[in-house]
Amino acid sequence: MLGKAKTLGEFIIENQSAFKYTSGELSRLINSIRLAAKVVNHDVNKAGLVDIIGAHGDKNIQGEDQQKLDVYANDIFIQTLKNRNIVCGIASEEEDDFISINSQDENNQNKYVVLIDPLDGSSNIDVNVSVGTIFSIYRRVTPVGTPVTIEDFLQKGEAQVAAGYVIYGTSTMIVYTTGHGVNGFTLNPAIGTFYLSHPDMQFSEDGQIYSVNEGNYVHFPQGIKNYIKYCQMEEGNRPYTSRYIGSLVSDFHRNMIKGGIYIYPQTAKDPNGKLRLLYECNPMAFIAEQANGKASDGFNRIMDIEPTELHQRVPFICGSKNMVEKAEEFMRQQ
Ligand code: P6P
């Protein structure tokens, strides 16, 4: 394996020419995410041994208890990106507002902004369930050398130049796209190198796995209730299998490999859905579409949604194209 498989570094260099209009900045940006992922991975893997799990004692802007590792991962990604002077701004689930990175410096020619969920599913850390980092990369829309503004972050998912996730699971992987398909790289922890292990990842058109927290069933829109009943009916290749890890990156990753659909609809507690558009749904939607899948809010393509707020939430239905379209059909009929 080691002799033949391409490393992430080699892959980035080989595909450099595909990154339009960039002088290697995007490559350096992906590389810095790789470095931060290795640092976070090291601490996620030993979280049970040191005093780094459990609540941090603060709440994020979502009002959610911040886990120590959430805050730690957030700091690692932000510091890594800041220190390499590659981006002009960062938005994070753990930060109330976006962070300007020297963008007021007129000599700052950095043109990318990053939006990140530094540790998605972190409530699973204490029970040793895999978690992930999700990132989304845009070219800024305001002139270089001027301070970044909120409009640099409130861009439609369609405008992303790259997106990806890190999954800290039985093995640690980086899966990302720059608009030229989706590729997965697995970390060899013995030498700290990511190797191309899953080239050209694709969702199957159909699947037999549905992922939804059925504990919220009573609060789901009728269309989603009807779709879940459809998944459970004895007919053709159904009933489907229900698999829900409670970690978006893990459920998404399994569904992309095996075929399936992930649904987080509106609920009583989250009338706009729970997942955030900018740093969870848009990056996962970009990856899904690049892997022949689909991502919708039940009625609209996720990447067409015009963002209005940094931490806005949307209902999220994502995965194998035919399964998403079937769920949308039930939503239209409700
Ligand atoms: P629930 C984790 O908090 C997360 O954002 C996703 O990773 C996950 O799929 C979902 O929320 C789980 O939410 O309400 O089912 O526990």
**Interface confidence (ipTM) of the complex:** 0.98
Alpha carbons 43 and 267: distance in angstroms, whole number: 34
Task: Please check the confidence at residue 1 and state whether its pLDDT lies above 60.
Answer: no
* Maximum CA extent, the chain: 64
Cα separation, 26 vs 177, in Å, equals 12
Cα 180 to chain center, whole Å?
Answer: 17
Mutational test site, ligand 1, from 216, 264, 316, max ligand atoms within 8 Å of CB: 264
User: What is the reported pTM?
Assistant: 0.94
Q: How far is the CA of 272 from the centre of ligand 1 (A)?
A: 14
Please report, in angstroms and rounded to a whole number, the separation of the first and last CA atoms in the chain.
51
Topology annotation, domain 8-198: Fructose-1,6-Bisphosphatase; Chain A, domain 1 (3.30.540)
Would you say residue 17 has pLDDT above 80?
no
- Residue-level pLDDT at 296: 98
Note if the bond before 239 is cis, omega within 30 degrees.
yes
pLDDT at residue number 181: 96
How far is ligand 1, taken at its centre, from the CA of residue 103, in Å?
33
pLDDT of the residue at 68: 78
- Looking at the chain, the domain(s) classified CATH 3.40.190.80 span 209-333
The C-alpha atoms of residue 109 and residue 32 are separated, in whole angstroms, by 18
Average pLDDT over residues 315-326: 98
E strand or H helix that includes residue 134: strand 131-139
One-letter amino acid at 218 equals: V
* Model pLDDT, residue 25: 82
pLDDT of 330: 98
DSSP string, 183-241: EEEEEETTTTEEEEEE-S----SS-SEEE--GGGGGGS-HHHHHHHHHHHS-BTTBSPE
Band (pLDDT 50/70/90 cuts) for residue 131 is very high
Q: What is the pLDDT of residues 195-251, one digit of tens each?
A: 999 999 999 999 999 999 999 999 999 999 999 999 999 999 999 999 999 999 999
Q: Which of 138, 124, 52, 125 is closest to 90 using CA atoms?
A: 138
Looking at the predicted structure, is the pLDDT value of residue 121 above 70? yes
Is 123 annotated to bind ligand? Answer: yes
Range(s) within the chain of domains with CATH label 3.30.540.10? 8-198
88 lines ligand 1 (CB under 6 A): no
User: In the prediction, which pLDDT does 125 show?
Assistant: 82
From 60, 120, 123, mutation site for ligand 1 pocket: most ligand atoms within 8 A of C-beta: 120
Q: Residue 248: CB within 6 Å of ligand 1?
A: yes
Query: Please, are residues 307 and 332 in contact by the beta-carbon 8 Å criterion?
Result: no
Mean pLDDT of the chain: 91
User: Does the annotation list 93 as a binding residue?
Assistant: yes
Nearest CA owner, ligand 1 atom 4: 121
pLDDT in the model for residue 123 = 81
The class that CATH gives domain 209-333 is alpha beta
User: Mutate which of 213, 252, 316 to test ligand 1's pocket (most atoms within 8 Å of Cβ)?
Assistant: 213
Query: If 0-12 CB within 10 Å is exposed, 13-18 middle and 19+ buried, where does residue 250 land?
Result: buried
Asked if the model's pLDDT at residue 304 lies above 60, the reply is yes
pLDDT greater than 80 at residue 104: yes
Distance 233 CA to ligand 1 centre (A): 26
- pLDDT tens-digit series, residues 142-171: 999 899 999 999 999 999 999 999 999 889
Could you give the CA distance from residue 42 to residue 36 in angstroms, rounded to a whole number?
10
